[in-house]
Amino acid sequence: MKRLLFILSFFVLLSATYSLQNRIIIEGKISYLSSQNIYVKFTSTAGIAVGDTLFAKMDNQLEPAVLVKYLSSKSCSGVKLLSTKFEIGTTIFAFIEKVETIEPADLIVVEKVNKTVPEKKSKKRKNKKDGKITGRLSLSSYGNISSMSNADYVRWRYTFAARSQNFQSSNFSFDSYISFNYRSTEWSYIKNNISDALKIYSLSIDYKFNENLNLTFGRKINRNISNIGAVDGVQLEGKFNNFTAGLIVGSRPDYLNYTLNFSLFEFGGFINHSLLFNSGTMKNSLALFQQTNDFKIDRRFLYFQHSSSFIKKIHLFLSSEIDLYKRTNDIPESTFSLTGLYLSLRYQPIRAISFQTSYDSRKNVIYYETFQNYTDSLYENATRQGLRFRVNIRPINRLFINLSYGYRFRTGDLRTSENYSGNISYSNLPFISGTFGVSYNHLSTSYLNGEIFSVRYSRDILSGIVFGNIDARYINYLFLNSAPDLEQLIFGADISWRILRKLSLSLNYEGTFEQEFSYGRVYFNITKRF
């Protein structure tokens, strides 16, 4: 363990002392949002590769926002890295190597600097959205159609999100994200148990005393300590030079239905140091928290988070939790043990290839809402933790190859878990345009052997207006215990239509076919932004 901590410390020290290089930032705009991916449109994606990280500006700092998975000549899509709720039209930034043939009109060139400029010396541009209320209202319908009796149902989901920065030019800001989700057949029960359907993920009011001191009241996830999760309470945050410090007093949401539960009282503080360079960012956060259960001390721990991307060709992220106190079988105990660790390191020596390795020993994720099917859930639970290696190859323009390998062994497992996968995709196909890809996944755990074959085709049907995707998967899971084997064919299709600038509609179908049963899922969504 000491050796591992030494290696981690070495990487952090290396990132802080490495010399800076001139790089170029290009701007893109979010063109579409799905339940899984974010789509970003650029003037050109030259210099961006699958596996790259895209950034968004948060509180005048660039934060890792999107991990690129698919790429075309003018747009890309990938998974979201932040808990922030993005909107269509949000500006996204990409760092690329300086190439003389790129037109200056498409680029924002950042001058080389040796130190950051204090915030007080730089005048902030007034955000056009300051003082205005922005948000979205959406209606979703999720239906299950099955060949089994009494298995059909329709689930409705209403979502409301709104926020305002400096509401009506005042010192107040607010943020909210609320959903109401229920099955139509359970309405009589939901009427008497609203909390089982109503989920308040964010509801907070901020008051800014000045540019450097801010008070938040309500439910909010603090980006400086995002892995701790939402806090119901009061957060006081102050900034001085490149430092941000905060005090937090409140409680954790109930782990069963995400409602208020004041008996889960917690308090703590953090300090964060961040730097913004021409080639990226570096941020370090250290927090100390004490959590209770029924107002009895349940846990006391240190939390450390580091992210840096300003070293040329290297991006590093690290988060860890160290327990200082715990209660086992109602017996208190002082300790100093590493109970959660996530490390991700990506290196891109040349444009055509990048390497990434990660180690994850965090606890399992709890989903209060998810669109995952049974087989996807099994795969994620078996592959998220452990050691993972990945290589992304771009031998020629438009051709992308992704190879990965994962390994995990936990105390109690009957055997080690291994998984490897490969994906090949080609964008901007001749004659028919769009992106076509094939992939293979193999999974071996203590309780199953499985494999997944899949093909996918996606494209802009009408540029910036209508987007479509079709895919097919063959899944074969052989369980080592008494559970019956699982063999499935899954076909999916979805279409998204941007009706107006702030009005969009999407329709998705997924059909699953087994030897004895078949069932389908239909997802419909209409969203109005304001």
Question: Is the model more confident about 105 or about 193?
Answer: 193
In a domain, 60, yes or no: yes
> What is the extent of the structural domain holding 293?
211-350
pLDDT over 60 (residue 230): yes
Calculate mean pLDDT across residues 495-520: 89
pLDDT digits (tens, 9 = 90+) for 271-305: 999 887 777 788 898 999 999 988 888 889 999 98
Question: Residue 80 sits in a domain of what CATH number?
Answer: 2.40.10
Whether 215 and 345 map to the same domain: the answer is: yes
The answer to whether position 28 is within a domain reads yes
Give the DSSP letter of residue 191. Answer: T
What tokens does 257 get? 């239905």
User: Would residue 316 count as lying in a domain?
Assistant: yes
Q: Is residue 148 included in any domain, yes or no?
A: no
At residue 178, the pLDDT reads 94
- Structure tokens, 32: 């579409």
pLDDT in tens, 72-86: 667 788 777 765 667
- Boundary residue ending a domain (88, 109, 130): 109
Element (H, E) at 469: strand 466-479
Element (H, E) at 179: strand 172-183
Residue whose C-alpha is closest to residue 34's, from 140, 174, 193, 175: 140
User: Per the domain annotation, does 30 fall within a domain?
Assistant: yes
Residue 58's pLDDT band (cuts 50, 70, 90): low
- Phi then psi for residue 75, to 5 deg, are -150, 165
Is 280 within the bounds of a domain? yes
- pLDDT band at residue 447 using 50, 70 and 90 as cut-offs: confident
Q: Does residue 161 fall inside a structural domain?
A: no
| Amino acid 166: pLDDT | 86
Tell me, yes or no, whether 527 lies in a domain: no
Domain count, the chain: 2
Query: Rounded CA gap, 474 and 452, in Å?
Result: 6
Question: What is the C-alpha separation between 522 and 144, in angstroms, rounded?
Answer: 7
With a cut of 80, say whether residue 492 has pLDDT above it: yes
Mark residue 35 as left, alpha or beta (left: phi above 0; alpha: psi -120 to 50; beta: remaining).
alpha
| Domain's final residue, options 109, 129, 152 | 109
Res. 423: pLDDT tops 60: yes
Quick one: pLDDT band at residue 517, thresholds 50, 70, 90?
confident
The percentage of the chain sitting over the pLDDT mark of 90, rounded to a whole number, equals 31
pTM of the model: 0.67
* pLDDT tens profile 330-344: 778 888 888 888 888
Q: What pLDDT was estimated at residue 471?
A: 94
Q: Which of 350, 372, 390 is the last residue of a domain?
A: 350
